[in-house]
Amino acid sequence: MIEGPDRRVPRSVHALGYRDYRLYWTTSVVSNIGSMMYLAAIGWLVEDITDDPWKVTVAATAGLIPLLVMSPFGGSLADRYSRTRLFLATVVGQMVVAVALAWVVQIDAETFWVLVAFSIGGGATASVGAPVQQAIVVELVPSGVMRNAIFLNSTQWNISRAVGPMLGGWLIQFWGPAAAFWFNAASFTALVVGLSLLPPRPPPGASSSQGFVADFLSGFQYARGIEGIRVVMLASFMLAAAISPTQWLAPVIADDAFGVDAAGFGVLLGAFGVGSLVGAVLLLQFDRGTAYSRLVTIGFTTVALFTLVLAVVPTFALGVMAMGAVGLAFMVTMPTLTSALQSLCDDAYRGRVMSLWMMLFSLAAPASILVQGSIASAIGIRWVLAITAIMVAAYLASQLALGRFRHLDTAV
């Protein structure tokens, strides 16, 4: 049962007028700031320990690989049981791993392979919760508010992207990496409290009782039968591959391309978040009436253009501006694809479809990161960015020529 909205909330953020969504949203901001600080800290720590772009990519990849194995279980569970309680359990698991990692760094026991192991452990718990979290958002608001809720959910992620890396960079610079890891561990407390205050909602009840494999296969067949969902899946795969070098290889960009320290690295990665936040504000103004296909076209065009700019600019200041523009483009594109996917999906299959979506990320991001990291080690990070930009432009041209983006504008 969703209680009535607070009418005083502005229309551009009207999903926040619903108490349960507001509680989830505000506590998620705190938790995700910690998560972004963790990503900045582990990337910088691996770069500092190894001075090897490929090993930075391995550490990043290790946390994403569990998505390929664990997210189908999370998707099936999300269509069987109370999603809020499932997500709470996974957040507690992530907090336990985060505390252990912070202690290891505090006592200077970290090595490259220890960090990889913790990345896998944290990724495993997060992987079960990822599709559950995506399915929760639409339960907290009425169907007519779904698009605004999804856009706002992406906004809170990008508030975190803007604040977390910069705070992480400053903490690393003045207090060392352990401080960033401790902040991340503590930040999970906010989300645990927020989820505990949400009333448990009944499960959709449509998932089969034949086991996880049967559930997964039925979700796969459902998703394969809808053209719009197939378009979203491919577009999300391409976007994840395109954004990987600017996110996971940001320590390499900061060090090799611009020669800046940890604080400068925090500013560079934070610029992506600031740009994303600006994109989020702009996107909320197009909450209704703007076709998904148009927003996705604009987003991919901008990603390709400014990834190329980032590849060639000679100064750190211009690099920061280009990184911000890539972040803005990402923010226009990813929540639009997510919203289109949610609108195309029946609630009975939502958890499983979202798990398929997460699996694509677990495939696209690690694969592209490993390839891009290897290329960066061989010929430099600037070439990686230039090649990525060209590939995104080629994908966009093919989709426009075939008219495939128009399938994003039909909803169930």
How far is the C-alpha of 61 from the C-alpha of 120, rounded, in Å?
9
Residue 235: pLDDT over 90 = yes
Q: How many Cα atoms are found within 13 Å in the side-chain-facing hemisphere of 221?
A: 6
Task: State residue 397's pLDDT score.
Answer: 95
Are 352 and 215 a contacting pair, CB within 8 Å? yes
Section 251-276 average pLDDT = 79
Higher pLDDT residue, 240 or 205? 240
Section 277-287 average pLDDT = 74
Which value, in Å, is the radius of gyration of the alpha carbons in the chain?
Answer: 20
Which domains, from first to last, does the chain contain? 11-409 (1.20.1250.20)
Confidence band of 325 (pLDDT split at 50, 70, 90): very high
Residue 183: pLDDT over 80 = yes
- Please report how the helices 146-175 and 19-50 are oriented relative to each other, as an axis angle in degrees rounded to 10: 40
How far is the C-alpha of 72 from the C-alpha of 348, rounded, in Å?
15
Q: For 114-148, how does the pLDDT look when each residue is reduced to its tens digit (9 = 90+)?
A: 888 888 887 778 777 777 777 777 778 887 777 77
Name the phi and psi angles at 197, rounded to 5. -85, -10
Q: 3-state SS of 119-175? A: HHHHHHHHHHHHHHHHHHHCCCCCHHHHHHHHHHHHHHHHHHHHHHHHHHHHHHHHH
DSSP secondary-structure letter at 257? I
Section 146-161 average pLDDT = 75
Which range, 136-145, 284-293, 337-346, is most confident? 337-346
Residue 372: pLDDT over 70 = yes
Residue 22: pLDDT over 80 = yes
Where b means 16+ CB within 10 Å and e means fewer, 289-313 reads: eeebbebbbebbbbbbbbbbbbbeb
Confidence band of 274 (pLDDT split at 50, 70, 90): confident
Torsion of CA 120, 94, 70, 334, to 10 degrees: -100
DSSP secondary-structure letter at 198? S
Residue 61 Cα to chain centre, angstroms:
14
Tell me the average pLDDT of the chain: 80
Task: State residue 162's pLDDT score.
Answer: 66
